[in-house]
Amino acid sequence: MLINRKEIYIEFGDCDPGGIVYFPRYLEYGDACTNALFARAGLHKAQMVKTYGIAGIPMVESRARFLVPSQFGDTLLVESCIAEWGRSSFSVHHKLFKDGVLAVELFEKRVWVARTAESAEGPVRFKGQIIPQEVKDKFSGKSHTGRK
């Protein structure tokens, strides 16, 4: 299983008036760490869009567990991995550590989507697409032929 590690320095602007990280900022951290995880697997977002014809990998569900508060000046170490693959969706698990202690856990569900249009004049819509096996294999250490 591929795990990416990324450090995040907590800036003054990340914090609420109480001096701790304002909780929506963790969603931004998670998004940046998901992008870093895919990049570590050799799947940079701009190239994925071009290579696979997708519109992106939007988050459709999230939840978090807040265990230890973080504040301005702290550095968090984030460990990210794909927890589960589905047909057109996948789950990402982020563990944020402060001084070696688990501070926050983030859980994301994302969908591999392409743009579709109902008609030439209609609004652009998005539809889940099957995630290519070669993409999944990049996170398990296998090539698309199944070799390690």
How many degrees, rounded to 5, is the angle at CA 41 between CA 39 and CA 47?
Answer: 50
Q: Residue 94's Cα: distance from chain center in Å?
A: 8
Find residue 12's DSSP bridge partners. none
In a domain, 18, yes or no: yes
- What is the reported pTM? 0.89
Q: What is the pLDDT along the chain (148 residues), one digit of tens a residue?
A: 999 999 999 999 999 999 999 999 999 999 999 999 999 999 999 999 999 999 999 999 999 999 999 999 999 999 999 999 999 999 999 999 999 999 999 999 999 999 886 666 777 788 999 999 999 999 986 544 443 3
In DSSP notation, 76-128 reads EEEEEEEEEE-SSEEEEEEEEEETTEEEEEEEEEEE-EEEEESSSSSPEEEEE
Find residue 121's DSSP bridge partners. none
In a domain, 144, yes or no: no
Q: Show which residues are catalytic.
A: 16
User: What pLDDT is recorded for position 145?
Assistant: 41
Count of domains observed in the chain: 1
Q: Which domain holds residue 11?
A: 3-137
